[in-house]
Structure 1
Amino acid sequence: MPEGHSVHRIARQFARNFVGRPISASSPQGRFAQGAAELDGRTPTRAQAVGKQMFLEFDEQVWLRVHLGLYGAWDFAGEILVDPTIASANGRMGQTNQRGTDLAAPGDAPVFDEDGENSLASIGAPRRTRVHVRMSEQTRTLGADGTADTEEPGTAEWPPPVVGQVRLRLMTDVTAADLRGPTACAVETPEQVDAVIARLGPDPLVGDPVENEERFVAAVRRRNVAIGQLLMDQAVVSGIGNVYRAEMLFRARLDPHTPGKAIPEELVRALWDDWVGLLRVGVETGQMMTMDDLSPDDWRRAMASRDDRHWVYHRAGLPCRVCGTEVVVEEMQARKLYWCPSCQR
């Protein structure tokens, strides 16, 4: 399932390429025909992500809410303007550490992984699980500054052909966004949007930082529920999924079964601080990079391969990178939880 960093990247891409521009909307698949008709001809005025949900506001207080779920993704085509806050889009690289992100100078070559996480053309579920149109087939060439280079006539088809089951297509005169496989795609009123957001836990990139931290600490410490479950509860904290859960618990050396109310307050606050930093890195790089203090070569390998990017996630049966104990996997909340029984005890 796409986690919070991906949804924030999508919202920023919409803000950069769609907000303030009249759009056409259609539902090639037909399942969202009525909703698309309500959006057609309107102008987006704001794009916002909260956790795993994106909200796109249109004129006259009409909202589009999208939850990608397990298999959803947006495919973008045409002239894609790069948000300067998304570092890897401009070829810059970041590295996780206890203080946040260290960005190298612009001009460093971008690193794309086998799942295409570091991408402007497609953001969402891993590409191998769904239909995907390659960037070279549907987009105009992007220049170094993120704008479209001039190309010879006939090298790209516009508008791009519809491929696969597209629930919703949004288009300006130069940019298209195709939505496939979402769990939720709905046109809503401001009151409905407010009600959804009210049910969500704090997101480090939305709202007051101090209030967000206090909400998280209070929600964890009042519950006699395993922290491995609480981190996946979107009413406790927004945006954390299976990967970030496993990695955050390992980084904190915390047993996933520890009840929230039994965790010292300072450790709960440290978990929040870690989520703030990891989410920032994820938004900037487009990848869930959770390892610290890597050499430049190890960093590039990790950016290119998920197997070199995480401490315990997806490493069941392999030795812990710290102590050598075999990493175990178990079911928690119907999702696989990876952890080290030696480091996390």
Structure 2
Amino acid sequence: MTEQSASPHAPFFRSFPFGRTTLRNRIVMAPMTRNRSPGGIPGQDVADYYRRRAQGGVGLIVTEGTYIDHPAANGYANVPAFFGEAALAGWARVVEAVHDAGACIVPQLWHVGAIRRPGAEPDRSVPGVGPMTVVDNGVTVVEALDDAEIAEIVASYARAAADARRIGFDGVEIHGAHEYLIDQFLWDTTNRRTDAYGGNIANRTRLASEIVRAVKRATSIDFPVMFRFSQWKIRDYDARIAHSPADLEQILLPLVEAGVDIFHVSTRRYLDPAFPGSPDSLAVWTRRLSGKPVVCVGSVALNKAYAIAQLRGAEDPSAELADLDPVENQLRREEVDLVALGRPLLADPDWPSKVRENRLAEIRAFDRDAMLTSV
């Protein structure tokens, strides 16, 4: 009997094929912005941070969002870039550290789009960009992208993916969630365009599909492309890009055709029903409709959902370990393929090892100190 099958939590600890390699288990470290990369350069402390989660036993790490080579791609202080010699050298150190500890790793390629405002790093004079122009008090704070500018952004994603492959990453994840650029095009509230990138669902999905296709062409067929999407937004937890399974299918199938290998389905509570009339979650629906493997995420191992108010200090973030039976049952039934954890791995990097050994009582609870950790 193998160590994995001997565990009472065996569904977490089956291997999973991942491009040219194999994940040692089904546990994924979810992407979480840490603001620990001054000047956009991930340093040795960032490598140590990811190494620690790999040593704790995760199978796959999805890095924090790392912004692509475009003047308006970033909107926050001290987040890492994914272009330039220094930043890529820093990421190469991260890759080496994670691989040495036995895990696989992909970067989350990111463009914040209209979330950006003038005054943000690195060039404070640059406004945000997005599907629509936004004017605030007579000042243009977001500029609508034209076709040529969209093509430049697509090309930047492709360059980033090629660089990821070159420096040793095991795949890439495209950030299409949470009201950032790609999601702004997917969502009909932020996309009121009347051209080929707006209007019906097929047109609103066009940018995402073009990015995926360009990334796939810039890498190889055996280099996994993950696509993260969500219904919820930073500023609207009740938002929807898909109001029915039919809507969802219209989003997913063009992305599959473009080359998505795995969908990372971001929810705030992974078991919540996605649509009226069915108990199935968004991840379960995504697997069924796309035919592709899925990562589920969202309060998988904690008894409280994440909220921006917790980060801002307006709400206590403390949470305890939740019952693992429901997600283990989803894995057993092959309704989901991989399970992503964020906050639990901030609180306790050894979460996978402790679960494998059934030492649940030893798992450290999540609290504000864990939320702000840099180690």
TM-score (norm 2): 0.26
Higher helix share: 2
1 or 2 for the larger relative contact order (CA 8 Å, sep ≥6)? 1
TM-score (norm 1): 0.28
